Each structure stands twice: as structure tokens, then as C-alpha cells.
Amino acid sequence: MMSRVSSPKPKQVLVIGLGNPGLSLAQQAWLRSQETLGFLRSPSSSSGSLVSSTGKTSRFSPTPFWQPRISQALLLCMINKRPSLILIIGLGNPGLEYEKTRHNAGRSAVTKWQKKEGLPEFAQNPKQQALVSEGKIGRTKVVGALPETFMNKSGIAVGALAKYYKAKPEHIVVVHDDADLPLGTLKIVFNRGSGGHKGVESVMRALKTEAFVRIRIGIGKNTKWHERDLNKVVIGKFTPQQQTLFFKGMRKAIEALSTIAQEGRERAMNGFNK
């Protein structure tokens, strides 16, 4: 009896739609799969072909007779491009006294996302100095983590988690509060500076890169805040009116996390950065 050997997932998949210029059925199916996955296309002058990329592009309007079954087959082939594991970190401070503070927006969002997705309850992981929940969303393994090191030392836990799970920085999502964004809003960024956020700076030092995904949850923009005032604001709690706006941004963050896990960061950025 032959033993079954699993082959490693390829890092890159090349899919070619054959046909004459003018968009044949196969070419249209290829383009449709690109559009569904959130990849962009642009003309390649050197090869004379249409290629998938992450650069700017003009919109493609498919004709009514594209073949859905071919597109679905292409999607199944290209699913291997997605990471096998995503590490999702909710920044904040441990302890009941900080639970409903502005600074714990990221921690609260990841906790609510874990419940929404039906993932296991968070469990203490002393070696990584974090609360951890492991599960699967579709074919992707997801690890939700809440550092127990306090905000300004978040990198200690994130570095240990990344090493333990062998997670590449580009497959790590950090969710945190952001005083530069209005309440009820969020922004998804990749490979961007910390904006002065101490927790994010700690993570960047630990990972030795800025090239990871961040979901910035607005906690109330006010250009008159000084650093001393801001320190008081972020550990302060919301008024009932502010709480309503905050929950609006929280719901967006939870949806964005699910989109990243299922469809990738590009799709999430296109959908939520409006």
C-alpha cells in the first residue's frame, strides 16, 4: 500500500489563459478570478501580455459570457498563494481596570472577533507571555493573541509568538488604537511607520521590520492634545455617546479581521479603506 506524501504549497502560482488577442473565454475567466481574489492587472509592455500585479490598474468590465466554472477552478489553484497561518495580535493592557479604556481598542476587537468566529477561548501561554486562541477559518489556521506584557512592551510577546509559530511578519496582523483617527473609523495599513504609538514601536523593534499589517482603530482625533494629555486620554473610558461611535469602528475592525483571514489583506484594504 502506497503511503500518501503531501507536497509543500508553492510560494507562487502562474496561471495562463490561452487565446487570441481580444479576450477569449479562457482569458476572461482568468481576469475574473483575479478580480474575485482582489488582485489587480496591468499591461506588460515587455511581454505583450496581461499580467496580475498589485500596482495601479484600469477597471475591467467582463462581458456577459465569461465561464464561472473555469473561474472557480482557477480560484482553487490560486488559493495556495494564501498563507497557511495568520497571527492576529490585539494590543492593550491586561487587567479589568483597563478593559474598557481607549488604549485597549485592539485587545477588545480581537476578543470580540474570536467570539464571532467561534474560536476556542483564550488560554494563558506563559512562555509567549500572552493569552492565545488557535483555530481555523476555512483552510487557514488563525492564531489570536493578547499580549500580557502591557502596551509599551508588546514586542516581547509578539516576538516570542512569531518565533513559536514561525509566522512571517507579512502574515502578522496587529490591531491597535489610534488617536489620529476619529471615533467610528479605522484604517488598514501595511509596511507603515508607527505614528508614535509606543506599543507598535515595541512590535517593530521585536520583528525588526515595519512590513506587517495593522488595523488602526480610531479613538478620537484632537489636534490640541499634548503628549501628557494623550497619556490620560488613552487610558480613560468613553462617555455613552462616544461608546456608540466606538462600537461602530469596532464592528468594522471585526469584519476586517474576518476578511483578511478569508480573502487576504489586499481585499480588506480595498473594502475598508474608503
**Among the listed residues 250, 189, 191, 249, the one whose alpha carbon sits nearest the alpha carbon of residue 214:** 189
d(CA 82, CA 200): 25
For every residue of the chain, DSSP letters joined together read: -PPP-PPPPPS---------SS--HHHHHHHHHHHHHT-EEEEETTTTEEEEESS--------TT--HHHHHHHHHHHGGGS-SEEEEEE----SGGGTTBGGGHHHHHHHHHHHHTTPPPPEEETTTTEEEEEEEETTEEEEEEEESS-GGGHHHHHHHHHHHHT--GGGEEEEEEETTS-TT-EEEEES---TT-HHHHHHHHHHT-S-SEEEEEE----TT--HHHHHHHHTSBPPHHHHHHHHHHHHHHHHHHHHHHHH-HHHHHHHH--
CB atoms within 10 A of CB 274: 5
- Concerning whether 103 is annotated as a catalytic residue, the answer is yes
User: Which of 103, 171, 176, 197 does the annotation list as catalytic?
Assistant: 103
- Report the catalytic residues: 103
